[in-house]
Structure 1
Amino acid sequence: MDDSGVQAPKINVHSTEAQHFVEAVLKGNGVPPENAAVIARCLVQADLRGVDTHGINRIPSYMARIRQGVLNAIDSPTLNQITPAVAQVDGNNTFGFLGAHMGMQRAIEMAQIYGIGMVSVKHSNHFGMSAWVVQQAIDAGMMSLVFTNSSPALPVWGGKEKLMGVSPIACGAPAGKEKPFILDMAPSVAARGKIYKAKRRGEKIPSDWALDAEGRQTDDPSAALEGVMLPMGGPKGSALSIMMDVFSGVLSGSAFAGHVTNPYDPSKPADVGHFLVAIKPDLFMSLEDFKDRMDFLYKRVVGCEKMAGVERIYMPGEIEQETEQRRLKEGIPYVQAEIDALNEEADRVGVGRLEVMQ
């Protein structure tokens, strides 16, 4: 919204243009072309699915980290095979997208042989929307679990200081003729990225999302960022955030217990950890039977009796899949301030500005 409270108009950009633009900015900052393609694809996929908090608007904060020397733009992650079905990726302080992409690819390869593959990723960074890692597994016909930890934003239940991250829990399973199951949710009432998005766009937030520094509910995103996010379901959301820290931080050897650096803090490496599992879906029955059972589950979920006032029931991930199909045709909506911030990054490295749809 602007100062008058009017919603800022949206400007659409074709997903192909967004992909090329981000690749160019990344390469202009020293990122190798093959790595730039992976990072750009993951960011654009978030925008296509409507997860605007984790899309290409993250580029200015990522580039600031490169300029401060706390994000390694040049190198790539490295892989260490631990057992035939377990591996670890050292992110080498590169983009989190790269370590997670390498890790899930290796997990898939191991699962194809052994039925399951598990990869721990250490010394990584923010990897954006978790659903893209789940989609990577689904595209290979695999079920998956995708965990990550993140910088402090939530209090543990009964506490008042930031300690746990708003760390998403994600998983997925392919289906047959129906849509796949994709769960990607944060253990907070809302993702912290939505507060950054509201601040960037000059918008208010719901008053039950966060507390300010004095412990009061607030609809001001700036005040919320000075305070704490609220966990969903009280102690249940708090416990899920601790679980993410155990599997992603403690197990991997990365930062944990409140020591992951905020992705908007360009003072030191983030040291994020991830935990990735790929599972072959036809371990206990034929693949055809598995897909038939997933299709039956989908039909039961979306076809069950609706509560009053509900027009349609969705499978987890279905709304985002439909948003992606629409935005592939209509373009991805941004506001002018977001376009300006992205173009400033393009100007810094002398590459073409973002072209908008007419």
Structure 2
Amino acid sequence: MSEATTTPQKLYPIPAPRLQEFVQSVLTANGVSPQNAQITASCLVQADLRGVDTHGSNRIPSYMERIRQGVLDASADPTLSQTTPVVALVDGHNGFGFPAAHMGMARAIEMAREFGIGMMSVKHSNHFGMSAWLVQQAIDAGMMSLVFTNSSPALPVWGGREKLMGVSPIACGAPAGKSKPFILDMAPSVAARGKIYKALRRGEKIPTDWALDSEGKQTDDPAKALEGVMLPMGGPKGSALAIMMDLFSGVLSGSAFAGNVTGPYDPSKPADVGHFLVAIKPDLFMGLDEFKERMDYLYQRVVGSEKAAGVERIYFPGEIEQDMKEERLQNGIPLSEAEIEALNKEANRAGVDPLKVT
């Protein structure tokens, strides 16, 4: 990464159980039901543990602002309607995206157990953070999965200059036997937009190939990047993937699409995000033991392949984040002073105990 615009802030390790308890207490104090608060807090802290700090607990201030502005219904509960034996729909009713998506994946898993596959569409939802937690929900149930969502405009279509498509993650996963599972969670842009917000909070510069400023020029300033557009990975390929996310998540679900999703940092109106979730039983075409053996073989072939010059280790998709989770469970989740101050400001507003650092 480029040299920082200011001296990087000191990071303070917060134990994961304490951070989850804190986030949950802020949510319930703002009108979220205990069950929905537990799901939301758990998903946010899972992101922090995996090193996806951009989609973790630091999102709380923006979420709470949306509640205060009346564009996110803290008390809403998602509802489910069955369409066919293997297809169902969740309506998020403009509540938090986490419980709506959690309900969707849970039902997809139930259908997959009985019929081999379960497909869910989720409408009228909100930001659900890191997609990998939904993939993990499926893996914990022994299922393969696909997880799509759309999001607010940040990316131009290839050849365009205006924000139109979201930096919407593509995620999927599969359980394994003795090896680590496959967990893919990636944005169709060169970098996730949350990384730019993180750099802004921490006084850091960004690589110049991440985004363009409002004049269409490369920039290492995160503030200018947020005024401009993100750049798609692989040019037209990343642009096409972003359109695909909008099709399956927005067009199909009945939620906003084609540049009409409202961003999580925009308190002007409901987000109306859509999601698309699929759970697949992995032993549809062979025994489960054989499937797991084949997954373990794939893992060993990938991580044991010949390394390019200068490469010390080859990782399976999701393995770096899983290693990070193990490290942070032991040593705590690092938060900057500015991030802790922002969280404690919400704690003060909510009348709950603040995060304390030593």
TM range (shorter): over 0.9
Written as runs of structure 1 = structure 2, the 5 A alignment for 1:33-182 is 33-182=34-183
**Do 1:282 and 1:290's aligned partners in 2 also have CA atoms closer than 8 Å?**
yes
1:342 aligns to what?
343
Q: In the TM superposition, what is the alpha-carbon distance from 1:6 to its structure 2 partner?
A: 2.2
One-letter amino acid matched to 2:25:
A
State the distance in 2 between where 1:288 and 1:144 align.
18
State the distance in 2 between where 1:252 and 1:75 align.
19
One-letter amino acid matched to 1:266:
P
One-letter amino acid matched to 1:234:
G
1:228 aligns to what?
229
State the distance in 2 between where 1:164 and 1:196 align.
18
Written as runs of structure 1 = structure 2, the 5 A alignment for 1:9-48 is 9-48=10-49
Q: Percent identity?
A: 75
Q: In the TM superposition, what is the alpha-carbon distance from 1:297 to its structure 2 partner?
A: 0.1
SS in 1 for 2:184: strand
SS in 1 for 2:145: strand
**Do 1:2 and 1:202's aligned partners in 2 also have CA atoms closer than 8 Å?**
no
One-letter amino acid matched to 2:112:
A
**Do 1:17 and 1:355's aligned partners in 2 also have CA atoms closer than 8 Å?**
no
Q: How well do the aligned residues superpose, as a CA RMSD in angstroms?
A: 1.2
Note the alpha carbon deviations across 1:29-72, whole angstroms, 9 max, x for none.
Answer: 01010110000000000000000000000000000000000001
Note the alpha carbon deviations across 1:174-201, whole angstroms, 9 max, x for none.
Answer: 0000000000000000000000111111
State the distance in 2 between where 1:156 and 1:4 align.
30
State the distance in 1 between where 2:11 and 2:200 align.
16
Note the alpha carbon deviations across 1:335-358, whole angstroms, 9 max, x for none.
Answer: 1000000000000011000133x4
Q: In the TM superposition, what is the alpha-carbon distance from 1:9 to its structure 2 partner?
A: 1.1
Q: In the TM superposition, what is the alpha-carbon distance from 1:8 to its structure 2 partner?
A: 1.2
**Do 1:124 and 1:273's aligned partners in 2 also have CA atoms closer than 8 Å?**
yes
Q: In the TM superposition, what is the alpha-carbon distance from 1:7 to its structure 2 partner?
A: 1.9
SS in 2 for 1:355: coil
State the distance in 1 between where 2:202 and 2:306 align.
38
Q: Which runs of 4+ in 1 moved over 4 A?
A: 1-4
Q: In the TM superposition, what is the alpha-carbon distance from 1:4 to its structure 2 partner?
A: 7.4
The answer on 1:198 being equivalent to 2:203 is: no
The answer on 1:303 being equivalent to 2:304 is: yes
**Do 1:2 and 1:8's aligned partners in 2 also have CA atoms closer than 8 Å?**
no
**Do 1:146 and 1:276's aligned partners in 2 also have CA atoms closer than 8 Å?**
yes
One-letter amino acid matched to 1:52:
D
State the distance in 2 between where 1:201 and 1:4 align.
9
SS in 1 for 2:197: helix
**Do 1:157 and 1:234's aligned partners in 2 also have CA atoms closer than 8 Å?**
yes
**Do 2:8 and 2:203's aligned partners in 1 also have CA atoms closer than 8 Å?**
no
The answer on 1:280 being equivalent to 2:317 is: no
Question: Relative to structure 1, is the Cα distance of residues 85 and 350 closer, same or farther in structure 2, using a 3 angstrom cutoff?
Answer: same
Q: In the TM superposition, what is the alpha-carbon distance from 1:219 to its structure 2 partner?
A: 0.4
Question: Relative to structure 1, is the Cα distance of residues 28 and 2 closer, same or farther in structure 2, using a 3 angstrom cutoff?
Answer: farther
State the distance in 2 between where 1:100 and 1:314 align.
28
**Do 2:7 and 2:203's aligned partners in 1 also have CA atoms closer than 8 Å?**
no
State the distance in 2 between where 1:218 and 1:98 align.
37
2:333 aligns to what?
332
User: Normalized against structure 1, the TM-score is what?
Assistant: 0.98
State the distance in 1 between where 2:4 and 2:118 align.
52
State the distance in 2 between where 1:112 and 1:328 align.
31
Note the alpha carbon deviations across 1:102-137, whole angstroms, 9 max, x for none.
Answer: 000000000000000000000000000000000000
Question: Relative to structure 1, is the Cα distance of residues 317 and 3 closer, same or farther in structure 2, using a 3 angstrom cutoff?
Answer: closer
Aligned residues: 357
1:315 aligns to what?
316
State the distance in 1 between where 2:6 and 2:105 align.
44
State the distance in 2 between where 1:218 and 1:185 align.
22
1:267 aligns to what?
268
2:352 aligns to what?
351
Q: In the TM superposition, what is the alpha-carbon distance from 1:3 to its structure 2 partner?
A: 8.9
One-letter amino acid matched to 1:249:
G
1:257 aligns to what?
258
**Do 2:78 and 2:92's aligned partners in 1 also have CA atoms closer than 8 Å?**
yes
One-letter amino acid matched to 1:5:
T
